[in-house]
Amino acid sequence: ADPGCIAIYTDPKNTPDRLARLLLEFGMANRKVAVVEEIGSEEEQCWETDLVSAAEKQFAPLNVMVLYPLEE
């Protein structure tokens, strides 16, 4: 069963790029991801991308990662 959207609060050890790499290893390439970084600051940004691109990017701290299915 597809869990739909999943939100993950990250930490300095389990960063969005690290989690994206792990998810790809587990065969979850059929997901898109949104990462909101620097939550609550003037530098807050939202990135929407695929897991492959997220695995290659370094994100600022204080973020949440949302996984959701690719649109068919």
Q: Tens digit of pLDDT for each residue in 30-47?
A: 889 999 999 888 999 999
CATH of the domain at 27: 3.30.950.10
Q: Are 11 and 65 in contact (CB under 8 A)?
A: no
User: Is 56 within a domain?
Assistant: yes
- Taking the CA atoms of the chain, what radius of gyration do you get in angstroms? 12
Q: Number of folded domains in the chain?
A: 1
The pLDDT mean for the chain works out to: 90
Looking at per-residue confidence, does 62 or 21 come out higher? 21
Task: Provide the pLDDT for residue 1.
Answer: 47
Counting residues of the chain whose pLDDT is more than 70, the rounded percentage is: 94
Q: Are 8 and 65 in contact (CB under 8 A)?
A: yes
**Looking at the DSSP assignment, which residues form a beta bridge with residue 69?**
31
Q: Are 57 and 45 in contact (CB under 8 A)?
A: no
Based on the number of CB atoms within 10 Å of its own CB, is 11 exposed (0-12), middle (13-18) or buried (19 or more)?
exposed
Residue 61 pLDDT greater than 90, yes or no: no
Domain that holds residue 35: 6-69
User: Is 1 within a domain?
Assistant: no
